[in-house]
């Protein structure tokens, strides 16, 4: 089992360096003004250039129009677009075709009924992300440190890879992966001192915890066939 680790909401060279040094697979930059993790185009251009191919760059947008998406893409040169708003499957398909970039769509999960929308998006994306639904009256769709019931994703089979987000930190990422068998994990508030301010030690601890959990799951998967054979 391979697990991709994404550190999101990066705004400073120090935080980006910490994510890259820790071995994150993806680094996310938020283009959404209401977010405390919002990064401007010039800062994104500088930070994006510093990645130098050491991780995939992800441009995160929320219900963005084509003008904003075009500006974000020109600044960051991302490898992946993450759509974290209320984009419909039709809008997602248009964005993916128009900008010719892989797309990951975030879906808010609270109850089992929320999973019914998966098949609509799975047809038009390269990856999915499952995140907790924001509290009532929230001004942004994520980054509140909230988790949902991960058991809703147990034994979930999808035609595209999926990432898990919402309320993750170094202390619970192993349990989250054990339950969901997600292809990747995404963290933002779980590696911060306060909203928008990353903690370099927490970044390193999260990546290390995710890697350790990945190794444990691989070992368990390798032992499982032997256990079945011994029981025959």
pLDDT at position 228 is 53
Query: 155: left (phi > 0), else alpha (psi -120 to 50), else beta?
Result: left
Residue-wise pLDDT for 192-231, tens only, equals 999 999 999 999 999 999 999 999 998 888 876 655 555 5
pTM: 0.92
Compute the C-alpha angle 188/21/204, nearest 5°: 50
Check pLDDT > 90 for residue 126. yes
Residue-wise pLDDT for 78-110, tens only, equals 999 999 999 999 999 999 999 999 999 999 999
Average pLDDT over all residues of the chain: 92
pLDDT at position 62 is 97
pLDDT at position 14 is 97
Check pLDDT > 80 for residue 31. yes
- Look up the CATH number of domain 4-230: 3.20.20.70
pLDDT at position 232 is 55
Residue-wise pLDDT for 35-75, tens only, equals 999 999 999 999 999 999 999 999 999 999 999 999 999 99
Q: What are the structural domain ranges in the chain?
A: 4-230
- Tell me if 23 sits within 8 A of 5, measured CB to CB: yes
Beta bridge partners of 7: 27, 187
């Amino acid at each position: 089992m391979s697990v991709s680790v994404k550190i999101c909401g990066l705004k400073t060279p120090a935080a980006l360096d910490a994510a890259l040094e820790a071995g994150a697979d993806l680094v996310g930059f938020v283009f959404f003004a209401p977010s405390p993790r919002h990064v401007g185009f010039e800062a994104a251009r500088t930070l994006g250039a510093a990645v130098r191919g050491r991780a995939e760059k992800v441009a995160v947008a929320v219900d963005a129009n084509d003008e904003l998406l075009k500006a974000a893409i020109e600044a960051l040169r991302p490898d992946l677009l993450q759509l974290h708003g209320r984009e419909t499957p039709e809008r997602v398909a248009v964005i993916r075709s128009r900008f010719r970039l892989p797309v990951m769509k975030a879906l808010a999960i609270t109850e089992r009924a929320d999973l019914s929308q998966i098949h609509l998006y799975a047809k038009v994306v390269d990856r999915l992300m499952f995140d907790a639904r924001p509290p009532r009256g929230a001004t942004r769709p994520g980054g509140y440190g909230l988790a949902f019931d991960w058991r809703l994703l147990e034994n979930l089979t999808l035609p595209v890879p999926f990432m898990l987000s919402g309320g993750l930190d170094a202390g619970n990422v192993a349990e989250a992966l054990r339950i969901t068998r997600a292809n990747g994990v995404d963290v933002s508030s779980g590696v911060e001192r306060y909203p928008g301010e990353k903690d370099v030690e927490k970044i390193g601890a999260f990546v290390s915890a995710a890697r350790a959990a990945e190794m444990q799951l691989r070992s368990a998967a390798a032992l499982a066939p032997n256990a079945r054979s011994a029981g025959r």
